[in-house]
Amino acid sequence: MIEYRNLRVALLGAGSVGAQVASLLLEHGDELANRAGAGLELVGVAVRDLDAPRTANIPRELLTTDAESLILGADIVIELMGGLEPARTYILQALTSGADVITGNKALLATHGPELFELAEQVGAQLYYEAAVAGAIPIIRPLRDSLAGDRIKRILGIVNGTTNFILDRMDTAGESLEVALATATELGYAEKSDPSADIEGFDAAQKTAILASLAFHTTVPLDAVYREGITAITIEQVDAARKAGYVIKLLAICERMTDADGVEGVSARVYPALVPRSHPLAAVHGAKNAVFIEAEAAGDLMFYGAGAGGIETASAVLGDLVSAARRHVIGGPGVAESTHANLPILPISRVITRYQITLSVVDQPGVLAAVATLFSEHGVSVETVTQSVQAGADPARPSATLVIGTHEASEADLAATVAALETSQVVRAVTSVLRVEGS
Ligand code: NDP
Ligand code: HSE
Protein backbone atom coordinates (compact mmCIF):
# COMPACT_ATOMS: atom_id res chain seq x y z
CA MET A 1 0.00 0.00 0.00
CA ILE A 2 1.46 3.36 -1.05
CA GLU A 3 1.34 6.02 1.63
CA TYR A 4 3.67 8.62 0.21
CA ARG A 5 2.07 11.47 -1.72
CA ASN A 6 1.90 11.32 -5.51
CA LEU A 7 5.05 12.56 -7.19
CA ARG A 8 4.52 14.97 -10.06
CA VAL A 9 6.41 13.88 -13.17
CA ALA A 10 7.00 16.31 -16.06
CA LEU A 11 8.13 14.94 -19.41
CA LEU A 12 9.97 17.16 -21.90
CA GLY A 13 9.75 15.59 -25.35
CA ALA A 14 7.42 12.99 -26.88
CA GLY A 15 9.51 11.74 -29.79
CA SER A 16 10.90 8.22 -30.28
CA VAL A 17 11.78 7.75 -26.61
CA GLY A 18 9.53 10.28 -24.84
CA ALA A 19 6.32 8.93 -26.40
CA GLN A 20 7.17 5.42 -25.19
CA VAL A 21 8.01 6.69 -21.72
CA ALA A 22 4.62 8.44 -21.52
CA SER A 23 2.79 5.40 -22.82
CA LEU A 24 4.47 2.93 -20.43
CA LEU A 25 4.08 5.27 -17.49
CA LEU A 26 0.37 5.69 -18.16
CA GLU A 27 -0.10 1.96 -18.76
CA HIS A 28 2.04 0.55 -15.91
CA GLY A 29 1.72 3.45 -13.47
CA ASP A 30 0.35 1.35 -10.59
CA GLU A 31 3.06 -1.29 -10.86
CA LEU A 32 5.81 1.35 -11.03
CA ALA A 33 4.25 3.17 -8.08
CA ASN A 34 4.41 0.00 -6.01
CA ARG A 35 8.07 -0.45 -6.86
CA ALA A 36 8.82 3.21 -6.17
CA GLY A 37 6.79 3.48 -2.97
CA ALA A 38 5.00 6.57 -4.29
CA GLY A 39 2.39 7.36 -6.89
CA LEU A 40 3.79 8.68 -10.17
CA GLU A 41 1.54 11.24 -11.79
CA LEU A 42 2.41 12.34 -15.32
CA VAL A 43 1.39 16.00 -15.07
CA GLY A 44 2.32 17.08 -18.60
CA VAL A 45 4.36 16.48 -21.72
CA ALA A 46 6.16 19.39 -23.36
CA VAL A 47 6.50 19.31 -27.15
CA ARG A 48 7.13 21.81 -29.94
CA ASP A 49 4.09 21.02 -32.04
CA LEU A 50 0.83 20.03 -30.34
CA ASP A 51 -0.52 18.59 -33.59
CA ALA A 52 2.49 16.51 -34.66
CA PRO A 53 1.70 12.80 -35.11
CA ARG A 54 2.79 10.70 -32.09
CA THR A 55 3.95 7.09 -32.05
CA ALA A 56 1.98 6.45 -28.84
CA ASN A 57 -1.38 7.56 -27.51
CA ILE A 58 -0.81 10.51 -25.20
CA PRO A 59 -3.98 12.24 -23.94
CA ARG A 60 -4.20 15.57 -25.73
CA GLU A 61 -4.75 17.46 -22.43
CA LEU A 62 -1.29 16.40 -21.22
CA LEU A 63 0.50 18.04 -24.15
CA THR A 64 1.82 21.57 -23.78
CA THR A 65 4.28 23.89 -25.45
CA ASP A 66 4.95 25.65 -22.14
CA ALA A 67 7.87 23.60 -20.80
CA GLU A 68 8.87 26.20 -18.19
CA SER A 69 5.51 26.16 -16.33
CA LEU A 70 5.50 22.38 -16.43
CA ILE A 71 8.98 22.22 -14.88
CA LEU A 72 8.10 24.58 -12.03
CA GLY A 73 5.42 22.32 -10.57
CA ALA A 74 7.31 19.02 -10.90
CA ASP A 75 9.08 16.72 -8.41
CA ILE A 76 10.82 14.84 -11.22
CA VAL A 77 11.60 16.18 -14.70
CA ILE A 78 12.42 13.80 -17.56
CA GLU A 79 14.27 15.53 -20.41
CA LEU A 80 13.97 13.67 -23.73
CA MET A 81 14.12 16.55 -26.19
CA GLY A 82 17.76 16.13 -27.19
CA GLY A 83 20.15 18.89 -28.30
CA LEU A 84 22.03 21.36 -26.15
CA GLU A 85 19.50 24.19 -25.89
CA PRO A 86 16.91 24.63 -24.54
CA ALA A 87 17.54 21.24 -22.85
CA ARG A 88 20.41 22.67 -20.77
CA THR A 89 18.37 25.66 -19.59
CA TYR A 90 15.37 23.50 -18.72
CA ILE A 91 17.49 21.06 -16.71
CA LEU A 92 19.14 23.94 -14.82
CA GLN A 93 15.66 25.35 -14.09
CA ALA A 94 14.39 21.97 -12.93
CA LEU A 95 17.35 21.40 -10.59
CA THR A 96 17.11 24.94 -9.24
CA SER A 97 13.45 24.38 -8.43
CA GLY A 98 14.42 21.27 -6.43
CA ALA A 99 13.34 18.59 -8.89
CA ASP A 100 15.36 15.49 -9.65
CA VAL A 101 16.16 15.21 -13.35
CA ILE A 102 16.36 12.23 -15.69
CA THR A 103 17.90 12.64 -19.14
CA GLY A 104 19.04 10.49 -22.06
CA ASN A 105 20.90 13.39 -23.62
CA LYS A 106 24.51 12.27 -24.15
CA ALA A 107 25.39 15.33 -26.23
CA LEU A 108 24.35 17.61 -23.38
CA LEU A 109 26.07 15.57 -20.65
CA ALA A 110 29.30 15.25 -22.61
CA THR A 111 29.33 19.00 -23.25
CA HIS A 112 27.81 20.53 -20.10
CA GLY A 113 27.91 17.62 -17.63
CA PRO A 114 30.14 19.30 -15.00
CA GLU A 115 27.88 22.38 -14.83
CA LEU A 116 24.75 20.25 -14.43
CA PHE A 117 26.27 17.87 -11.87
CA GLU A 118 27.65 20.79 -9.87
CA LEU A 119 24.25 22.45 -9.63
CA ALA A 120 22.61 19.13 -8.70
CA GLU A 121 25.13 18.76 -5.86
CA GLN A 122 24.61 22.33 -4.68
CA VAL A 123 20.85 21.96 -4.41
CA GLY A 124 20.93 18.36 -3.15
CA ALA A 125 19.10 16.98 -6.20
CA GLN A 126 20.05 14.03 -8.38
CA LEU A 127 20.68 13.82 -12.11
CA TYR A 128 20.03 10.36 -13.59
CA TYR A 129 21.20 9.38 -17.09
CA GLU A 130 21.08 5.61 -17.61
CA ALA A 131 19.66 6.06 -21.15
CA ALA A 132 22.48 8.34 -22.28
CA VAL A 133 24.92 5.50 -23.01
CA ALA A 134 23.96 2.34 -24.87
CA GLY A 135 20.18 2.87 -24.68
CA ALA A 136 18.52 -0.02 -22.86
CA ILE A 137 21.73 -1.55 -21.51
CA PRO A 138 22.23 -0.96 -17.79
CA ILE A 139 25.77 0.45 -17.72
CA ILE A 140 25.68 3.74 -15.81
CA ARG A 141 24.35 2.23 -12.58
CA PRO A 142 26.74 -0.78 -12.70
CA LEU A 143 29.70 1.58 -13.12
CA ARG A 144 28.49 4.06 -10.55
CA ASP A 145 27.16 1.67 -7.90
CA SER A 146 27.87 -2.03 -8.45
CA LEU A 147 31.55 -1.48 -9.36
CA ALA A 148 32.13 1.40 -6.92
CA GLY A 149 34.26 -0.92 -4.78
CA ASP A 150 36.48 -2.04 -7.64
CA ARG A 151 39.04 -0.40 -9.91
CA ILE A 152 38.24 -0.29 -13.61
CA LYS A 153 41.25 -0.94 -15.81
CA ARG A 154 39.66 -0.67 -19.23
CA ILE A 155 36.35 -0.37 -21.03
CA LEU A 156 35.93 -1.43 -24.65
CA GLY A 157 32.50 -0.47 -25.92
CA ILE A 158 30.46 -0.86 -29.06
CA VAL A 159 28.23 2.08 -28.23
CA ASN A 160 27.01 3.18 -31.65
CA GLY A 161 24.51 0.88 -33.33
CA THR A 162 24.65 2.53 -36.75
CA THR A 163 28.38 1.99 -37.22
CA ASN A 164 28.23 -1.53 -35.82
CA PHE A 165 25.45 -2.30 -38.29
CA ILE A 166 27.50 -0.90 -41.20
CA LEU A 167 30.74 -2.70 -40.28
CA ASP A 168 28.80 -5.93 -39.68
CA ARG A 169 27.17 -5.73 -43.14
CA MET A 170 30.57 -5.10 -44.71
CA ASP A 171 31.93 -8.15 -42.90
CA THR A 172 29.03 -10.60 -43.26
CA ALA A 173 27.40 -9.50 -46.54
CA GLY A 174 30.37 -7.98 -48.36
CA GLU A 175 28.56 -4.66 -48.80
CA SER A 176 30.43 -1.42 -49.36
CA LEU A 177 30.29 1.23 -46.65
CA GLU A 178 28.01 3.37 -48.85
CA VAL A 179 25.50 0.56 -49.46
CA ALA A 180 25.47 -0.46 -45.79
CA LEU A 181 25.00 3.18 -44.72
CA ALA A 182 22.03 3.52 -47.08
CA THR A 183 20.43 0.43 -45.49
CA ALA A 184 21.15 1.78 -41.98
CA THR A 185 19.47 5.05 -42.92
CA GLU A 186 16.47 3.23 -44.41
CA LEU A 187 16.07 1.19 -41.24
CA GLY A 188 16.15 4.38 -39.17
CA TYR A 189 19.46 3.66 -37.39
CA ALA A 190 21.45 6.50 -38.93
CA GLU A 191 20.33 10.12 -38.95
CA LYS A 192 18.67 10.81 -42.33
CA SER A 193 19.70 14.45 -42.59
CA ASP A 194 23.23 14.04 -41.28
CA PRO A 195 24.67 10.61 -40.47
CA SER A 196 28.04 12.15 -39.53
CA ALA A 197 27.24 12.02 -35.80
CA ASP A 198 27.31 8.26 -36.16
CA ILE A 199 29.84 7.48 -38.90
CA GLU A 200 32.39 10.13 -37.90
CA GLY A 201 32.30 8.85 -34.30
CA PHE A 202 30.86 11.97 -32.62
CA ASP A 203 28.02 10.03 -30.95
CA ALA A 204 30.46 7.39 -29.69
CA ALA A 205 32.84 10.11 -28.45
CA GLN A 206 30.08 11.67 -26.34
CA LYS A 207 29.32 8.30 -24.77
CA THR A 208 33.05 7.69 -24.23
CA ALA A 209 33.41 10.96 -22.31
CA ILE A 210 30.53 9.91 -20.03
CA LEU A 211 31.84 6.37 -19.47
CA ALA A 212 35.44 7.45 -18.85
CA SER A 213 34.37 10.14 -16.36
CA LEU A 214 32.34 7.60 -14.39
CA ALA A 215 34.80 4.73 -14.56
CA PHE A 216 37.85 6.71 -13.49
CA HIS A 217 36.27 9.26 -11.08
CA THR A 218 37.72 12.00 -13.27
CA THR A 219 36.05 14.67 -15.37
CA VAL A 220 36.81 13.75 -18.99
CA PRO A 221 35.70 16.60 -21.29
CA LEU A 222 34.41 15.77 -24.75
CA ASP A 223 37.30 17.55 -26.45
CA ALA A 224 39.77 15.28 -24.63
CA VAL A 225 38.32 12.24 -26.38
CA TYR A 226 40.37 11.28 -29.44
CA ARG A 227 38.03 10.42 -32.31
CA GLU A 228 38.21 8.71 -35.68
CA GLY A 229 35.11 7.54 -37.54
CA ILE A 230 34.64 4.65 -39.96
CA THR A 231 34.47 6.55 -43.25
CA ALA A 232 37.98 5.52 -44.33
CA ILE A 233 37.37 1.81 -43.73
CA THR A 234 37.39 -0.16 -46.98
CA ILE A 235 35.93 -3.51 -47.90
CA GLU A 236 39.53 -4.65 -48.58
CA GLN A 237 40.47 -3.90 -44.95
CA VAL A 238 37.39 -5.77 -43.71
CA ASP A 239 38.21 -8.79 -45.90
CA ALA A 240 41.86 -8.79 -44.86
CA ALA A 241 40.83 -8.55 -41.20
CA ARG A 242 38.55 -11.58 -41.59
CA LYS A 243 41.30 -13.63 -43.22
CA ALA A 244 43.66 -12.73 -40.38
CA GLY A 245 41.14 -13.74 -37.69
CA TYR A 246 39.90 -10.27 -36.80
CA VAL A 247 36.79 -8.17 -37.23
CA ILE A 248 36.78 -4.37 -37.46
CA LYS A 249 34.64 -2.64 -34.82
CA LEU A 250 34.25 1.03 -33.95
CA LEU A 251 35.36 0.97 -30.32
CA ALA A 252 34.88 3.42 -27.48
CA ILE A 253 37.96 2.86 -25.35
CA CYS A 254 38.39 4.17 -21.82
CA GLU A 255 41.64 3.09 -20.23
CA ARG A 256 43.62 3.77 -17.11
CA MET A 257 47.21 3.53 -18.26
CA THR A 258 50.78 4.47 -17.50
CA ASP A 259 52.55 6.11 -20.43
CA ALA A 260 56.16 5.62 -21.53
CA ASP A 261 57.28 8.35 -19.05
CA GLY A 262 55.57 6.65 -16.13
CA VAL A 263 52.65 9.13 -15.97
CA GLU A 264 49.47 7.42 -14.81
CA GLY A 265 46.39 8.82 -16.48
CA VAL A 266 43.21 8.20 -18.39
CA SER A 267 42.90 7.66 -22.11
CA ALA A 268 39.52 8.11 -23.81
CA ARG A 269 39.40 7.38 -27.51
CA VAL A 270 37.17 6.23 -30.36
CA TYR A 271 38.44 4.55 -33.51
CA PRO A 272 37.85 1.54 -35.72
CA ALA A 273 40.06 -1.28 -34.46
CA LEU A 274 40.86 -4.91 -35.20
CA VAL A 275 39.21 -7.15 -32.60
CA PRO A 276 40.14 -10.86 -32.47
CA ARG A 277 37.24 -13.08 -33.57
CA SER A 278 37.55 -14.92 -30.25
CA HIS A 279 36.79 -11.75 -28.24
CA PRO A 280 33.17 -11.47 -26.97
CA LEU A 281 32.80 -8.08 -28.72
CA ALA A 282 33.38 -9.77 -32.10
CA ALA A 283 30.04 -11.55 -31.67
CA VAL A 284 28.09 -8.29 -31.39
CA HIS A 285 26.19 -8.09 -34.67
CA GLY A 286 23.80 -5.71 -36.37
CA ALA A 287 22.86 -2.54 -34.53
CA LYS A 288 23.36 -4.11 -31.08
CA ASN A 289 25.63 -2.47 -28.48
CA ALA A 290 27.92 -4.04 -25.88
CA VAL A 291 30.23 -2.74 -23.21
CA PHE A 292 33.14 -4.92 -22.10
CA ILE A 293 34.67 -3.95 -18.77
CA GLU A 294 37.99 -5.16 -17.38
CA ALA A 295 38.02 -4.60 -13.62
CA GLU A 296 40.83 -5.36 -11.20
CA ALA A 297 38.85 -7.57 -8.84
CA ALA A 298 35.73 -8.52 -10.81
CA GLY A 299 37.70 -9.50 -13.91
CA ASP A 300 35.96 -9.29 -17.28
CA LEU A 301 32.28 -8.30 -17.52
CA MET A 302 30.15 -7.74 -20.59
CA PHE A 303 26.86 -5.85 -20.91
CA TYR A 304 24.95 -6.45 -24.14
CA GLY A 305 21.67 -5.35 -25.73
CA ALA A 306 19.77 -2.68 -27.60
CA GLY A 307 21.68 0.59 -27.76
CA ALA A 308 18.75 2.53 -29.18
CA GLY A 309 15.06 2.31 -29.98
CA GLY A 310 12.10 4.11 -28.43
CA ILE A 311 10.68 1.44 -26.15
CA GLU A 312 14.05 -0.13 -25.35
CA THR A 313 15.48 3.21 -24.25
CA ALA A 314 12.28 3.99 -22.34
CA SER A 315 13.10 0.99 -20.12
CA ALA A 316 16.28 2.73 -18.94
CA VAL A 317 14.42 6.01 -18.39
CA LEU A 318 11.70 4.34 -16.31
CA GLY A 319 14.34 2.55 -14.23
CA ASP A 320 15.74 5.98 -13.42
CA LEU A 321 12.23 7.21 -12.64
CA VAL A 322 11.70 4.47 -10.05
CA SER A 323 15.11 5.26 -8.50
CA ALA A 324 14.31 8.98 -8.39
CA ALA A 325 10.94 8.32 -6.77
CA ARG A 326 12.51 6.02 -4.15
CA ARG A 327 14.98 8.77 -3.31
CA HIS A 328 12.12 11.19 -2.74
CA VAL A 329 10.42 8.71 -0.43
CA ILE A 330 13.59 8.01 1.55
CA GLY A 331 14.71 11.66 1.56
CA GLY A 332 18.21 13.09 1.87
CA PRO A 333 20.42 14.76 -0.73
CA GLY A 334 21.32 13.16 -4.04
CA VAL A 335 24.65 11.40 -4.48
CA ALA A 336 27.20 13.68 -6.14
CA GLU A 337 29.22 12.56 -9.16
CA SER A 338 32.57 11.24 -8.01
CA THR A 339 35.53 13.07 -9.56
CA HIS A 340 37.91 12.60 -6.63
CA ALA A 341 40.67 10.83 -8.61
CA ASN A 342 41.08 13.70 -11.05
CA LEU A 343 43.65 11.80 -13.10
CA PRO A 344 45.48 13.51 -15.96
CA ILE A 345 44.06 12.82 -19.38
CA LEU A 346 46.63 11.39 -21.73
CA PRO A 347 46.71 12.65 -25.33
CA ILE A 348 46.52 10.08 -28.12
CA SER A 349 50.29 10.34 -28.73
CA ARG A 350 50.90 8.79 -25.27
CA VAL A 351 48.61 5.82 -25.85
CA ILE A 352 50.25 2.42 -26.04
CA THR A 353 48.60 -0.32 -28.06
CA ARG A 354 49.24 -2.84 -30.84
CA TYR A 355 49.01 -2.19 -34.58
CA GLN A 356 48.67 -3.93 -37.88
CA ILE A 357 50.25 -2.19 -40.87
CA THR A 358 49.73 -3.31 -44.45
CA LEU A 359 52.31 -2.31 -47.04
CA SER A 360 52.67 -2.70 -50.76
CA VAL A 361 56.40 -3.21 -51.30
CA VAL A 362 58.90 -3.87 -54.05
CA ASP A 363 59.38 -7.65 -54.21
CA GLN A 364 63.17 -8.03 -54.24
CA PRO A 365 65.94 -9.20 -51.90
CA GLY A 366 66.62 -6.99 -48.86
CA VAL A 367 63.19 -5.36 -48.75
CA LEU A 368 62.01 -7.20 -45.64
CA ALA A 369 65.23 -6.29 -43.85
CA ALA A 370 64.89 -2.63 -44.88
CA VAL A 371 61.31 -2.49 -43.62
CA ALA A 372 62.23 -4.23 -40.35
CA THR A 373 65.05 -1.71 -39.85
CA LEU A 374 62.61 1.20 -40.10
CA PHE A 375 60.45 -0.33 -37.39
CA SER A 376 63.41 -0.98 -35.10
CA GLU A 377 64.88 2.51 -35.68
CA HIS A 378 61.65 3.99 -34.27
CA GLY A 379 61.43 1.65 -31.31
CA VAL A 380 58.51 -0.40 -32.62
CA SER A 381 58.89 -4.13 -32.14
CA VAL A 382 57.53 -6.40 -34.89
CA GLU A 383 55.53 -9.41 -33.70
CA THR A 384 54.31 -11.01 -36.93
CA VAL A 385 54.99 -10.63 -40.64
CA THR A 386 53.07 -12.24 -43.47
CA GLN A 387 53.93 -11.75 -47.10
CA SER A 388 51.91 -12.48 -50.20
CA VAL A 389 52.53 -11.79 -53.86
CA GLN A 390 50.31 -8.96 -55.00
CA ALA A 391 47.67 -10.23 -57.42
CA GLY A 392 47.77 -8.65 -60.86
CA ALA A 393 51.18 -7.15 -60.26
CA ASP A 394 53.27 -6.07 -63.25
CA PRO A 395 55.85 -8.94 -63.79
CA ALA A 396 58.43 -6.28 -64.68
CA ARG A 397 57.90 -4.51 -61.31
CA PRO A 398 57.00 -7.32 -58.90
CA SER A 399 55.14 -6.21 -55.80
CA ALA A 400 54.30 -7.95 -52.57
CA THR A 401 51.91 -7.23 -49.75
CA LEU A 402 53.39 -7.23 -46.27
CA VAL A 403 51.13 -7.38 -43.24
CA ILE A 404 53.06 -6.48 -40.11
CA GLY A 405 51.71 -6.95 -36.62
CA THR A 406 53.50 -5.08 -33.84
CA HIS A 407 54.00 -5.61 -30.14
CA GLU A 408 52.75 -2.77 -27.96
CA ALA A 409 54.09 0.60 -29.07
CA SER A 410 53.23 4.22 -28.46
CA GLU A 411 51.15 6.14 -30.97
CA ALA A 412 53.99 8.64 -31.34
CA ASP A 413 56.53 5.90 -32.24
CA LEU A 414 54.06 4.24 -34.58
CA ALA A 415 53.30 7.53 -36.35
CA ALA A 416 57.04 8.15 -36.86
CA THR A 417 57.44 4.62 -38.25
CA VAL A 418 54.57 5.09 -40.70
CA ALA A 419 56.00 8.43 -41.83
CA ALA A 420 59.35 6.75 -42.50
CA LEU A 421 57.67 3.89 -44.37
CA GLU A 422 55.78 6.35 -46.56
CA THR A 423 59.01 7.89 -47.83
CA SER A 424 61.00 4.66 -48.08
CA GLN A 425 62.33 3.60 -51.51
CA VAL A 426 61.16 0.01 -51.04
CA VAL A 427 57.59 0.81 -49.95
CA ARG A 428 55.15 1.52 -52.78
CA ALA A 429 52.25 2.39 -50.44
CA VAL A 430 51.15 2.11 -46.82
CA THR A 431 47.70 0.70 -47.56
CA SER A 432 46.31 0.26 -44.07
CA VAL A 433 47.16 1.13 -40.48
CA LEU A 434 44.80 -0.26 -37.86
CA ARG A 435 45.07 -0.61 -34.10
CA VAL A 436 44.51 -4.00 -32.51
CA GLU A 437 42.41 -4.04 -29.33
CA GLY A 438 41.01 -6.67 -27.04
CA SER A 439 43.87 -9.15 -26.98
P1 NDP B 1 13.12 12.89 -31.02
O2 NDP B 1 13.73 13.85 -31.95
O3 NDP B 1 12.39 11.71 -31.59
O4 NDP B 1 12.08 13.67 -30.08
C5 NDP B 1 12.34 14.92 -29.52
C6 NDP B 1 11.09 15.41 -28.81
O7 NDP B 1 11.41 16.61 -28.13
C8 NDP B 1 9.92 15.73 -29.75
O9 NDP B 1 8.71 15.30 -29.18
C10 NDP B 1 9.96 17.26 -29.86
O11 NDP B 1 8.68 17.84 -30.02
C12 NDP B 1 10.49 17.62 -28.49
N13 NDP B 1 11.21 18.89 -28.50
C14 NDP B 1 12.33 19.20 -29.16
N15 NDP B 1 12.68 20.48 -28.93
C16 NDP B 1 11.75 20.98 -28.10
C17 NDP B 1 11.56 22.23 -27.50
N18 NDP B 1 12.38 23.25 -27.73
N19 NDP B 1 10.49 22.40 -26.68
C20 NDP B 1 9.64 21.38 -26.45
N21 NDP B 1 9.77 20.16 -26.99
C22 NDP B 1 10.81 19.95 -27.81
O23 NDP B 1 14.25 12.42 -30.02
P24 NDP B 1 14.50 10.97 -29.39
O25 NDP B 1 13.29 10.55 -28.64
O26 NDP B 1 15.07 10.05 -30.41
O27 NDP B 1 15.69 11.28 -28.36
C28 NDP B 1 15.48 11.97 -27.16
C29 NDP B 1 16.77 11.95 -26.35
O30 NDP B 1 17.09 10.60 -26.01
C31 NDP B 1 17.99 12.51 -27.08
O32 NDP B 1 18.81 13.19 -26.16
C33 NDP B 1 18.69 11.28 -27.59
O34 NDP B 1 20.07 11.45 -27.74
C35 NDP B 1 18.40 10.30 -26.46
N36 NDP B 1 18.45 8.90 -26.86
C37 NDP B 1 17.71 8.48 -27.92
C38 NDP B 1 17.75 7.15 -28.30
C39 NDP B 1 16.91 6.67 -29.43
O40 NDP B 1 16.95 5.46 -29.72
N41 NDP B 1 16.12 7.49 -30.09
C42 NDP B 1 18.62 6.18 -27.61
C43 NDP B 1 19.30 6.73 -26.46
C44 NDP B 1 19.23 8.03 -26.12
P45 NDP B 1 7.79 17.60 -31.35
O46 NDP B 1 7.41 16.16 -31.29
O47 NDP B 1 6.61 18.49 -31.18
O48 NDP B 1 8.66 17.93 -32.50
N1 HSE C 1 22.57 7.00 -33.38
C2 HSE C 1 22.78 6.20 -32.20
C3 HSE C 1 23.27 4.81 -32.62
C4 HSE C 1 21.50 6.12 -31.39
O5 HSE C 1 23.36 4.52 -33.81
O6 HSE C 1 23.61 4.03 -31.74
C7 HSE C 1 21.72 5.84 -29.93
O8 HSE C 1 22.50 6.79 -29.30
Q: Is the peptide bond before 280 cis (omega within 30 degrees of 0)?
A: no
Q: Is 160 in the pocket of ligand 2 (CB under 6 A)?
A: yes
14 is in an annotated binding site: yes
Per-residue pLDDT at 439: 82
Q: Give the model's confidence band at 194: pLDDT under 50 very low, under 70 low, under 90 confident, else very high.
A: confident
Same domain assignment for residues 148 and 285: yes
Q: Domain residues for 370?
A: 351-436
Residue 378 confidence (pLDDT) above 70? yes
Element (H, E) at 223: none
What is the percent of the chain where pLDDT is above 70? 98
Looking at the domain assignment, is residue 337 inside a domain? no
Ligand 1 mean position, distance from CA 13 (Å): 5
Looking at the domain assignment, is residue 73 inside a domain? yes
pLDDT tens per residue across span 381-398: 999 999 988 766 567 777
Using alpha carbons only, how large is the chain's radius of gyration in Å? 25
Same domain assignment for residues 149 and 82: no
Same domain assignment for residues 293 and 205: yes
What mean pLDDT is predicted for residues 73-83?
Answer: 97
What mean pLDDT is predicted for residues 263-288?
Answer: 98
Residue 190 confidence (pLDDT) above 90? no
How high is the mean pLDDT of the chain?
Answer: 95
Q: Is 162 in the pocket of ligand 2 (CB under 6 A)?
A: yes
Same domain assignment for residues 147 and 128: no
Q: Tell me which residue of 337, 341, 339, 322 sits closest to 126, measured CA to CA.
A: 337
Same domain assignment for residues 173 and 194: yes
Looking at the domain assignment, is residue 342 inside a domain? no
Q: Annotated catalytic residue: which of 207, 243, 249, 288?
A: 207
pLDDT tens per residue across span 235-270: 999 999 999 999 999 999 999 999 989 999 999 999
Same domain assignment for residues 56 and 188: no
Number of structural domains found in the chain: 3
What mean pLDDT is predicted for residues 78-89?
Answer: 97
For residue 211, the domain's CATH number is 3.30.360.10
What mean pLDDT is predicted for residues 310-327?
Answer: 97
Same domain assignment for residues 106 and 218: no
Query: For 243-270, b where at least 16 C-beta lie within 10 A, e where not — what string?
Result: ebebbbbbbbbbbbbebeeeeebbbbbb
Final residue of a structural domain among 330, 361, 382: 330
pLDDT tens per residue across span 307-316: 999 999 999 9
Looking at the domain assignment, is residue 338 inside a domain? no
Same domain assignment for residues 321 and 201: no
Give yes or no: 249 in active site: no
Q: Tell me which residue of 159, 134, 151, 128 sits closest to 271, measured CA to CA.
A: 159
Looking at the domain assignment, is residue 231 inside a domain? yes
pLDDT tens per residue across span 39-66: 999 999 999 999 999 999 999 999 999 9
Same domain assignment for residues 283 and 325: no
Higher pLDDT, 304 or 332: 304
Nearest ligand 1 atom to alpha carbon 316: 43
Same domain assignment for residues 43 and 163: no
Q: Is 136 in the pocket of ligand 1 (CB under 6 A)?
A: no
Same domain assignment for residues 323 and 368: no
Ligand 1 mean position, distance from CA 17 (Å): 7
16 is in an annotated binding site: yes
Same domain assignment for residues 157 and 203: yes
